[in-house]
Amino acid sequence: MRLRRATIACALVCVLAPAGATGSAQAAPSKAPRLTGLRCVPATASACRSGVRVSVGRQVQVRGRGLQRGMRVTFRWPKGALATKLVRSSRAGWTVRVPAGTALGEIAVTLRDRAGRRSNTRQILVVASSPLPPRAATRPGALPDVFTGNGMWIWYVNKSEGGNLDAIALRAKAAGMSTVFVKSADRGTLWKQFSPQLVAALHARGLRVCAWQFVYGEDPLAEARAAVASIAAGADCFVIDAETAYEGRYAAAQRYIGALRTAIGPSYPIGFTSFPYVDYHPRLPYSVFLGPGGAQANMPQVYWKAIGGSVDAVSAKTVANNRIYRAPLAPLGQSYDAPSAADLRRFRAVWAGYGAGGLSWWSWQASSNASWAALSQATPPPAALPDPGWPALTKGSTGDQVIWLQQHLASADPSVALDGRFTAATQNALKAFQTARGLAPTGATDAATWQALLAVPLRPVDWTAARQAR
């Protein structure tokens, strides 16, 4: 978590900044871009006879002046905004997909060029493709009990109520916190603050105690040994925190998980925490940490204020990006950097609406008295929310979500390469899968395709031999 600010900032720059520019081949226009029209794809769709009516994940054709590949397209509504990139195809011209997580209703669409100039606004109507199913944030099977309820993360015990365990227990109980997540290791090095004595003392004060470790992947077996030692100290659960340093380390993640599970067994409760936007960190091995034998709880770091979005928009995009891994979501919210009491209440209501069985907060030492007071208020009722959509992967997509898609396709067709690149071969395999399941062979993923794919049991993957994601 120490890397969270720098990596979030990098992610925003790398993903939302116009991509695909090639220097002089695409000189910046002299005037701001202008939108002259938006149309459905295909334009003859019956739902679009009286305007642009589309669901999340569907394409919109963009017409205008000064358009360039990779230009930022923003979808904005009263409680948030999400951005994606303009693309060009030989068949439909300039297009953009409605980002997963976009709200329903009237949405304002704008373009921004590389010079930061914004276009005029055009409106579309985003409609539901299906109702939000019950317990949408979880997979079949319950979230392990230890991750349910409310929790608070502790980085340094001595900076949390001065290390006074009576004061920690008193404040936790006043805020309805049943669990504390205490750092136990960094790399393969154990932290002295996490000990059997600490665990026993907090247990005696009525708190559950979970250990967490920041991992890097340089020596996964040493990191696994430190994790096992943390658990042996009496931890009620264990959480893996893997961030930027772990990008591209698929084989290391598999060795770490394999060694850890061999030592502690398949049922001990493990959580995984990392960046909430999987598509912003395409080389991070989410599919290993959350795959078979991995974590039973997905705890994305939904730091909406640090990311720069609203609670609703950031949460919806998080659900849409993470739901494909099927691990129950128990998000980590932002109580640092003085979020408003209204945002803290909204976060609790939104995630209750998504069916999350547990919430926790980062972090004890960085939470103000005002944040603690807001977290101590009664739990708000669940928010009524639309389905946030699913990742719309198409030819040209890359990253861990593509690897996860390819793993499921490979269970039906072993010739599918696990390289994280949505090539023509992957597209053909997906079309064949869709045809076999009675789905429209679009060669792109949508809600029905993902749900059919996720029902396919996965074959084991040896990442020491498989081609790495690039």
Q: Does the pLDDT of residue 299 top 60, yes or no?
A: yes
Q: What is the pLDDT of residue 143?
A: 95
CB of 57 closer than 8 Å to CB of 30: no
Condensed to tens digits (0 to 9), the pLDDT of residues 227-275 reads 999 999 999 999 999 999 999 999 999 999 999 999 999 999 999 999 9
Cα–Cα distance, 224 to 264 (Å, whole number): 10
CB-CB contact of 271 with 238 (8 Å): yes
Query: H or E element: which one contains 333?
Result: strand 332-334
| 190 vs 136: CA distance, rounded Å | 37
Spatial distance between the Cα atoms of 211 and 188, rounded to a whole number of angstroms: 14
CA–CA dist 453, 456 (Å, integer) = 6
Identify the band that residue 28 occupies on the pLDDT scale cut at 50, 70 and 90. low
In DSSP terms, 118 is beta-bridged to 112
* Among 343, 342, 273, 279, CA closest to 306: 343
Return the percent helix, strand and coil in the chain, to nearest 5.
Answer: 35, 20, 45
pLDDT for position 459 = 84
Strand order in the sheet with 87-89: 34-40, 59-65, 93-97, 87-89
Tens digit of pLDDT for each residue in 118-131? 999 999 999 877 55
Q: Mean pLDDT for the chain?
A: 90
pLDDT digits (tens, 9 = 90+) for 195-223: 999 999 999 999 999 999 999 999 999 99
- What mean pLDDT do residues 160-174 have? 97
Q: Which of the given ranges, 19-23, 41-45, 110-114, has the highest pLDDT on average? A: 110-114
With beta carbons less than 8 A apart as the criterion, state whether 72 and 18 touch.
Answer: yes
d(CA 59, CA 97): 4
Phi and psi at residue 430, in whole multiples of 5°? -70, -40
What is the spatial distance between Cα 239 and Cα 260, in angstroms, rounded to a whole number?
Answer: 12
pLDDT of 470 > 50? The answer is no
CB count in 10 Å sphere of residue 423: 16
- Closest CA relative to residue 181, chosen from 221, 158, 152: 152
Cα–Cα dist 329/322, whole Å = 8
For residue 233, what pLDDT is reported?
Answer: 98
- pLDDT of residue 36 exceeding 90, the answer is yes
Please classify residue 66 by burial: count the beta carbons closer than 10 Å to its beta carbon, then call 0-12 exposed, 13-18 middle and 19+ buried. Answer: middle
- How far apart are the C-alpha atoms of 465 and 458, rounded to whole Å? 17
Beta strand 297-298 pairing with 270-273: parallel
Q: How far apart, in whole angstroms, are the C-alpha atoms of residue 449 and residue 409?
A: 11
Give the model's pLDDT for residue 467.
54
> What domains are there in the chain, each with its CATH number?
4-21+33-126 (2.60.40.10), 145-375 (3.20.20.80), 400-454 (no CATH)
| Whether residue 302 has pLDDT greater than 80 | yes
How many other β-carbons are positioned within 10 Å of the β-carbon of residue 147?
31
Taking residues 333-345, what's their average pLDDT? 97
67, burial (CB in 10 Å: exposed 0-12, middle 13-18, buried 19+): buried
Q: What digits encode the pLDDT tens for the residues 404-460?
A: 999 999 988 999 999 999 999 999 999 999 999 999 999 999 999 999 999 998 988
